[in-house]
A and B are shown apart, each in its own frame.
Chain A
Amino acid sequence: MEVMSIICILAGLFFLIVAAIGVIRLPDVFSRSHAVSLTDSLGAFLVLVGVALHEGLSPSMLKIIAVLALLYIQNPVIAHATVRAALRAGLKPWKKEAS
């Protein structure tokens, strides 16, 4: 169990780092928001699952599950709001140059 939780947390950290690299490397708001959505879809999920496994069956585990549910409900809403605001403010999405 303990080993599983460590593996989960490490895998989650990997995705969080990849997302951070993505935010730096990608060219504009729109594509960067894809990298950010990577953090909550797998990064935070795996870290929280790891913590839940570490806690075992207890009230803390239920609270972590509640946090996960809220995360999955709220994050798409926030990501959508950000991207829509950028689009309405007139930002032009970055395009690959035709070669």
Chain B
Amino acid sequence: MTNDSFPSGVRSRPISSQFLILKTTALFVLWILLSASFDWIHLGLGLVLSFTVAWVNSGHSPFVPKFRLWGNILFYLPWLFVKIVQSSLHVSKLILHPSLPIDPRLINVETNLGHHGAVVLLGNSITLTPGTITAEVDRNTLIVHALDEVSEQDVTSKSIESKIAAMFKDEEPDL
């Protein structure tokens, strides 16, 4: 446990019992869904395990649920999926084309997201879309490898970035 390193038994961060219960419940529901067996051994074992995992993790988790942001991300994912399908078809067309008309390039992308989570989301979204891959990240600057002109425009048009910036506009900048 994390608290052993602190003198005179001072807790680094008090465990919120509400949060502990929330975490245990979430893990237990996941256990039930995945095990799909309802005899006492499975349920009891699941309850003990999910409580243990929640308890072990609660001491050093700065993780606070932000439901608004998660809701935004939930609406963002289908939009991203449409983009993924479009660029998948484009990349398949490039690969199957007899003359292989690719023109790879490295591009520098300057963003002004100013938020760790936002930059991670942007980098992952760019990598998930076939035809563009985030090769390097340094704070607000990304180096992206693009397969051709059309793929490059996915990134340079800033359509993904503006979506993410809109989702994170209420968050405190931490970059």
| Complex: A42 Cα to B36 Cα, angstroms | 29
The total of interchain contacts (Cβ-Cβ below 8 angstroms) comes to 101
| Complex: A18 Cα to B147 Cα, angstroms | 16
| Complex: A66 Cα to B36 Cα, angstroms | 14
Quick one: given A21-B95, A31-B147, A38-B91, are A87 and B135 in contact (CB under 8 Å)? Answer: yes
B69 shortest CB reach to chain A, Å = 17
Q: How large is the interface on A (under 10, 10 to 19, 20 to 34, 35 or more residues)?
A: 35 or more
Q: Determine the residue in chain A with the shortest Cβ distance to B93.
A: A18
Which of B85, B88, B92, B134 is A80 in contact with, Cβ under 8 Å? B134
Question: 13 A-B residue contacts at CB 8 Å?
Answer: A15-B92, A19-B95, A31-B102, A37-B127, A73-B124, A75-B127, A77-B124, A79-B133, A83-B134, A83-B145, A94-B104, A95-B105, A96-B104
A-B residue pairs, 5 tightest by C-beta = A59-B36, A76-B127, A22-B95, A76-B124, A42-B88
Name A residues whose Cβ lies closer than 8 Å to a Cβ of B.
Answer: 15, 18-19, 21-22, 25-26, 28, 30-31, 33-35, 37-38, 41-42, 59, 62-63, 66, 72-73, 75-77, 79-80, 83-84, 87, 93-96
